[in-house]
Amino acid sequence: MEQNTKEPTELQKVLDKLGPGQSVVKDAIAALAEAGIKVSKSAMYQVITGRSAKKELVEAFLAAAEAETERRALVKERAAKLAA
């Protein structure tokens, strides 16, 4: 059997870096819904894995990932202040 040795996409790397338990995909879907764009979880994962390149979905995913990264940085900063 042939193993899947395909290099992960940049979006997959972003998702992996955020780790388990994050809600970036859900947040991106919610943001798109607020903008009047209906999208499924499957469609988002197709974009993340590189099988689709719909720019609205890519932008929503990246915005949600950036927001999560900023949120984590603020939480870390606040915790450090409290711990000091």
pLDDT digits over 12-45, tens only? 999 999 999 899 999 999 999 999 999 999 999 9
Give 49's contacts (C-beta < 8 A, 6+ positions apart).
9, 11, 12
pLDDT of residue 9: 96
Task: Please give the sequence-ordered ranges of beta strands (E in DSSP) within the chain, or none if there are none.
Answer: none
Q: Which of 53, 33, 9, 51 is nearest to 64 (CA)?
A: 33
Indicate the domain borders of the chain: 10-83
pLDDT of residue 6: 84
pLDDT of residue 4: 60
pLDDT of residue 60: 98
Mean pLDDT across 3-12: 84
Q: What's the pTM?
A: 0.87
pLDDT of residue 2: 53
